[in-house]
Amino acid sequence: MSVDALAADGVGLPYVGRPAHIAGLLRPLGWRPVAGFAGEHRAKALRNVPGTIRDTPGDVLLVSNEDLAEVRPEDVDAVAALADEAGVDLHVVLTVRDWAQQLPSDYQQFLKHRLADSYLTFLDDVRERRGAWADQFWRRQDPVDILDRWGRAVDPSRMHVIVVPSYSQDPEGVFNLMGEVVGFDAASVTRPRGSVNASFGVVESEVFRRVNAALGDRLPDYKRDYTEAVRYPFANGVLARSASPKLTLPPEHLGWVQDLAQRTVATIRERGYPVHGDLAALVPDDDSASPLPSYDEAAVAEASITALANYAARAPRRRRD
């Protein structure tokens, strides 16, 4: 187990797994599914955090959760106070990758959160920083903004930026860089099995989008209703992965992405954050963009029928469970 391997290297995990992070830290800070950090702090629950930290053995303690990129200034202040009470020095490790990869990836992630806009509309909104989905994208994916928010409480010398290499080209890269920063033997960490976060193709993404649009206001409780009825089944076999060509960054969006990435790289360099990996890799090259794959209604219909059949095949299993 990776937990035991990390412990052997002196790295403790106060929260093991996403549910533990949500229950122990995110929800007490006001986090909610889809909405993010939009609620009030739960003072009683937050009082448990310093004790959890103190009770976790290790020379270094690692709290790893992607949602912490979205924290508000008041959340940073709360985390800093909790770390002080627990007697630990707070460091930030931020993993980043280029937006030519991240934009298609986040669109598919937002489909799981009920996004019903087309991919091209999403790209336009992100470019113009218009609307709730664009706001959430930039809160999660703008390194300078994230570092600014955490910089309220953490010195730049303790804010590490990891540039995530392409998994297909360097599958060990992110593990090696994280081990270098945190202080563990990357070779001892258990790797994911099979495909890592396989993508929906352009056709399957359109099926997902149309289902969200057709649902409208139905299944209003995201966790109880939508997650169980749509998100989990679609993400776990009902909707095929990699069955059609991948979403791409269209060439007409490459220019603004490159310009913004260049400014971002310059700011990170100027501020002197410790950088691990190739910072220049955050700027997409001209080959990073390609025309969006086309599809026709027959392909969407076929993928929809396949998804419906897969969904029906799961029903008896759900009843048995």
DSSP for 185-238?
-GGGSPPPPSSSSPPPBHHHHHHHHHHHHHHTT-S--IIIIIIIIIIHHIIIII
129: part of which helix (H) or strand (E)?
Answer: none
Residues contacting 24, CB < 8 A, separation 6+: 14, 15, 48, 49, 52
Total domains in the chain come to 1
User: What pLDDT is recorded for position 188?
Assistant: 82
Structural domain that includes position 84: 1-90
Task: Note whether residue 266 is domain-resident.
Answer: no
Given this model, what pLDDT does residue 82 score? 97
Tokens of 136: 């959430």
Is 75 within a domain? Answer: yes
Q: Which candidate, 17, 244, 247, 311, places its Cα nearest to that of 110?
A: 247
Predicted confidence at residue 168, as pLDDT, reads: 76
Q: Which residues contact 277 (CB under 8 A, 6 or more apart)?
A: 162, 163, 164, 165, 173, 177
pLDDT of residue 317: 62
Please indicate, yes or no, if residue 60 is contained in any of the structural domains.
Answer: yes
Half-sphere exposure of 186 (CA within 13 A, CB side): 12
The whole-number pLDDT of residue 318 equals 57
DSSP code, position 23: I
Question: Using alpha carbons only, what angle is made at residue 166 by residues 261 and 203, rounded to the nearest 5 degrees?
Answer: 90
Q: Is 221 part of a structural domain of the chain?
A: no
The model's pTM: 0.92
Residues of the chain with pLDDT under 70: 1, 193-198, 316-321
d(CA 191, CA 63): 18
Residue 137 maps to a domain: no
Residue 78 lies in a domain: yes
The pLDDT assigned to 195 comes to 53
Q: Quick check: is 274 in a domain?
A: no
Residue 79 included in any domain: yes
**With the CA atoms of 71, 181, 176 and 260 taken in that order, what torsion angle do they form, in degrees rounded to the nearest 10?**
50
